[in-house]
Structure 1
Amino acid sequence: MDRMLYIAMSGAKEVMLSQANNSNNLANANTDGFKQDFNVFRAQHVQGPGLASRTYSMDERPATDFSAGAIKVTGRELDVVTKEDGFLAIQAPNGDEAFVRSASLQVLENGNLVDVKGNPVLNETGIQINLPPTKSITIGDDGTISIVPADSPSNQLVVLDRLKLVKPNIQDLEKGLDGFIRLKEGGAPVVQENVTVVSGAVESSNVNTATALVNMIELSRKYEMQVKMMSTTKTHSQKSDSLLSLK
């Protein structure tokens, strides 16, 4: 009976992990630029000497859905979204280069260009972009950043820098536990590409709320099934004990 109990307990634990991932997807359904994670269950045989007589279920996060979300027009000049499977390079908090499809850019008091979470935005050479005092900022469809300096006439537009735009192989990308998309270890290095940028818009999350809600119901039923198996194990154990206690 203990074997059946451990299998049911393991199954319930893995379902809870999958529920947590699905809840995270659902909670970020309205987070601009969020990419949902996939979860799958697979059979895991007991490892060790002897026959593989027991099989446990294991939940895994095998991949991330990098498909594009819906484009949401904001009209804000510093809101940008990439097209043609392109990505915009930013610097993650740990110093690594990370990639996003969309960003709401902001200029700090020191002139540094960052996204809405404060992560530095990189130029085509991989260096953080810094802007002088400006009257206005315009981002072209090729990622060029043009400004009107604060001490210049309003019609004097100056091309200052260019966003780092890349088009990596999706198979070479992975989303870390911190939520940042990076190249996998050993992935092909990325270089500046001709990626179209649309300003005045952001990309919505690619989470399908209807699918996520259906998954939530399905996972709840799986969890109830595992709990029922544990309850059945207890019942069988009690009956076995009663039989052994007979004289």
Structure 2
Amino acid sequence: MDRILYTASNGAARILEQQSAIANNMANVSTTGFREQLAIYRSVPVVPHAGELPTRVSTVASTPGSQFGQGAMVETGHALDAAIAGDGWFAVQTPDGEAYTRAGEFAVNQNNQLVTQTGLPILSNDGGPIEVPERGSITFATDGQISALGAGDNPRDIQLLAQLKLVNPARDQLVRGDDGLFRVAGGQAAQADDTVRIAPGFIEKSNVNPAAAMVAMISNSRQFELQMQVIKNASTNEERANSILSAAG
């Protein structure tokens, strides 16, 4: 069998992997705080056998990554919304330990705890969940301090609840999970960073560029078609060679 089949099929597989990442990005264009996923592949020369010329190139997947540029900031005016201003992350508690997100579209669950839209508890600087007074209103400060006023309380009785755990680990230490959250490689918890600031009443949109993602998806589709055409041509050439040999015999 012509080895070009393996070369072309390998290239097609890498294209499908990248197409899957692009499709995931497109699906999360409207997801608050989403970070664009990168899937990169590179060419690798195929080592020829004795007497052959180095004319073929294979492809391998490179280490996947993420695009960490900031998304558009949108003012909502909601008391429970906050966006990271610049670099940094909110810390949340998951069943597998501490994780990090840029999505600051918070809510209060039935246990009066501050949580993400998916129900994960938001962590305070002391590593615990943040409890909110029942039917109370809360206010975020730019440094992550949370103050609350209970229903019917005098404005002078406002109380300090906690401080959001805001972290800023090195980007090359962060690993994206299947749940879309980021974790520090090795599983350890990142240290709080008191230089991280938030913008109360704002949310950060996804940093995916829809137009660029659509162009990449179309380009990948065309490259996949080219790989399939190479495989088809190789198969046709093999059939013709076999027919010639059969006729000669």
**TM-score (ref. length: structure 2):** 0.89
Separation in 2, partners of 1:243, 1:81: 69
* Cα pair 1:167 1:193 within 8 Å, conserved: no
In 1, Cα distance between the equivalents of 2:118 and 2:189? 27
1:29 alignment counterpart? 29
How much identity, in percent, do the aligned residues show?
A: 35
Alignment match, 1:179? 180
Matches within 5 A, 1:181-196: 181-185=182-186, 189-196=190-197
Q: Which residue does 2:4 correspond to in 1? A: 4
In the aligned structure 2, how far is the partner of 1:212 from the partner of 1:151?
Answer: 50
What's the offset of the Cα at 1:99? 1.3
After superposition, the Cα gap between the structure-2 partners of 1:172 and 1:206, relative to the gap in structure 1 and judged at 3 Å, is: same
Pairs within 5 Å for 1:31-70: 31-44=31-44, 55-70=57-72
Quick check: 181-190 or 126-135, which moved more? 181-190
For 2:110, the aligned partner's letter is: E
Q: Which residue of 2 aligns with 1:120?
A: 121
In the other structure, the counterpart of 2:81 is 79
Q: Which runs of 5+ in 1 are unaligned?
A: none
Q: Following superposition of structure 1 onto structure 2, how do residues 14-25 of structure 1 map, counting pairs within 5 Å?
A: 14-25=14-25
Where 2:215 maps in the other structure, the secondary structure is: helix
8 Å Cα contact 2:174-2:185 kept in structure 1: yes
**Relative to structure 1, is the Cα distance of residues 189 and 102 closer, same or farther in structure 2, using a 3 angstrom cutoff?**
closer
Partner residue, 2:146: 145
Query: For 1:230-241, what aligned pairs fall within 5 Å after superposition?
Result: 230-241=231-242
Q: Is the 8 A contact 2:32 2:105 kept in 1?
A: no
TM-score (norm 1): 0.90
- Taking the aligned partners of 1:64 and 1:40, their CA distance within structure 2 comes to 11
Structure 1 residue 151: deviation in Å? Answer: 5.7
User: How far off its partner does 1:44 sit?
Assistant: 4.5
Structure 2 runs not aligned, ≥5 long: none
Equivalent pair of 1:134/1:150 in contact (CA under 8 Å): yes
Amino acid at match of 2:66: T
* Alpha-carbon displacement from aligned partner over 1:195-220 (angstroms, at most 9, x marks no partner): 22111110000001111111111101
Q: Name the counterpart of 2:111.
A: 110
Q: Deviations over 1:68-110 (max 9, x none)?
A: 101011110110011131211111242x211122311111121
For 1:104 and 1:9, the matched residues in 2 are separated by 43
Aligned to 1:92: 94
Counterpart Cα distance in 2 of 1:186 and 1:113: 23
CA positional deviation for 1:55? 4.5
2:204 and 2:187 mapped to 1: Cα distance? 29
SS in 2 for 1:193: coil
> What is the root-mean-square deviation in Å for CA atoms of aligned residues?
2.4
2:36 alignment partner, SS class: coil
Task: Identify which range, 179-188 or 33-42, moves more after superposition.
Answer: 179-188
- State whether residues 130 and 161 of structure 2, in contact with CA within 8 Å, keep that contact through their aligned partners in structure 1: no
Size of the aligned set, in residue pairs, is 245
- Residues in 1 aligned to 2:201 and 2:187: alpha-carbon distance in whole angstroms: 35
Contact 2:71 2:204 in 1 (8 A): yes
Q: Which whole-Å CA distance do the structure 1 matches of 2:35 and 2:63 have between them?
A: 13
Greater alpha carbon shift after TM alignment, 37-46 vs 69-78: 37-46
**Given that residues 17 and 39 in structure 2 are in contact (C-alpha distance below 8 angstroms), is that contact kept between their aligned partners in structure 1?**
no
